[in-house]
């Protein structure tokens, strides 16, 4: 009996979810969604587990949300996976985080290829251990011709250093006559950032109740809609993602106009 009720509950919630999925697709879907996936450590702590157990659980959510984003027609999904500040964490935790891309792509890459997802990354690749870099580069290579969702991992990413690096490149190109400093504008400068070729995010999601950017996409988020939730990333489910899109669709974006 209990099992029957459980099954019924699951079925009804998934049909409700399907209905909400269809409904959001009747309106404008945010073309680029960026997510600060936060709260893995607290999720683990609440269960008296090591922090890395939270990261492992969080990886499963990445898979779920990537699928859903692709299904509802999101064009780009940027996921903050490791910041330039996260090197300050205990060595074992950093080592585990650097193993996650291999673990994730090891089991999920065939599915990404199949589902037409294109993997890219932004961040300083040079500082990544070679096993991490290789896993990402292989995924990028294997999915380079895919035309569906762009899955952009922000890995060893920091927005301030991205901007500084961009400025250095601009200065170099000015000096070499590749661009004229009088012609430098926002569009041209954007093309010197790691998000080159991507539109700015329409929607930013941050989980775990923290209301800050933590050095994430400072330039690109200038006119993005923000949605914060107390839900910890490993608990983030399909209906939370749908809810964020529903809220987005009820916002009025004015971009400074009336
Ligand atoms: C986010 O979860 C994952 C990374 C920053 C890599 P945290 O590890 O920051 O989790 P909390 O904030 O300690 O709960
Ligand atoms: C931001 O989360 C970085 C990632 C989600 C990868 P943090 O947990 O590192 O941010 P702070 O320290 O709370 O600002
Ligand atoms: Mg955190």
pLDDT in tens, 8-53: 555 556 899 999 999 999 999 999 999 999 999 999 999 999 999 9
- pLDDT for position 49: 98
Please give the model's pTM, rounded to 2 decimal places: 0.95
Q: How confident is the model at residue 2 (pLDDT cuts 50, 70, 90)?
A: low
Active site residues: 38, 86
Statement: residue 5 has pLDDT above 70 = no
Please tell me if the CB atom of residue 84 comes closer than 6 angstroms to any atom of ligand 1.
no
209 is in an annotated binding site: no
Ligand nearest the Cα of residue 97 is 1
What is the whole-number distance in angstroms between the Cα of residue 213 and the centre of ligand 1?
A: 13
What is the whole-number distance in angstroms between the Cα of residue 50 and the centre of ligand 3?
A: 14
What is the whole-number distance in angstroms between the Cα of residue 243 and the centre of ligand 3?
A: 22
- All domains of the chain in start order, with CATH: 29-249 (3.40.1180.10)
Convert 118-180 into a string of H (helix), E (strand) and C (coil). EEEEECCCCCCCHHHHHHHHHHHHHCCCCCCCEEEEEEEECHHHHHHHHHHHHHHHHHCCCCC
């Amino acid at each position: 009996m209990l099992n029957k009720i459980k099954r019924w509950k699951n079925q009804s919630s998934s049909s409700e979810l399907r209905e909400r999925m269809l409904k959001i697709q009747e309106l404008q879907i945010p073309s680029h969604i960026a997510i600060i996936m936060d709260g893995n450590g607290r999720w683990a702590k609440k269960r008296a587990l090591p922090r890395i157990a939270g990261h492992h659980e969080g990886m499963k959510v990445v898979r779920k949300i990537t699928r859903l984003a692709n299904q509802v027609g999101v064009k780009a999904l940027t996921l903050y996976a490791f910041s330039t500040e996260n090197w300050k964490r205990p060595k074992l935790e950093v080592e585990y985080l650097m193993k996650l891309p291999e673990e994730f792509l090891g089991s999920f890459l065939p599915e990404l290829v199949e589902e037409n997802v294109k993997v890219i990354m932004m961040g300083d690749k040079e500082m990544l251990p070679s096993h991490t870099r290789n896993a990402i580069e292989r995924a990028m290579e294997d999915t380079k011709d895919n035309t569906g969702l762009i899955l952009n991992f922000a890995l060893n990413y920091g927005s301030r250093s991205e901007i500084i690096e961009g400025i250095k490149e601009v200065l170099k190109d000015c000096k070499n006559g590749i661009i004229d400093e009088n012609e430098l504008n926002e569009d041209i400068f954007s093309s010197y950032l790691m998000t080159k070729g991507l539109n700015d995010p329409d929607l930013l999601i941050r989980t775990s109740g923290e209301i800050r950017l933590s050095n994430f996409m400072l330039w690109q988020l200038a006119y993005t809609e923000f949605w914060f939730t107390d839900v910890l990333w490993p608990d983030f489910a399909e209906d939370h993602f749908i809810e964020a899109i529903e809220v987005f669709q009820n916002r009025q974006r004015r971009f400074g106009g009336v």
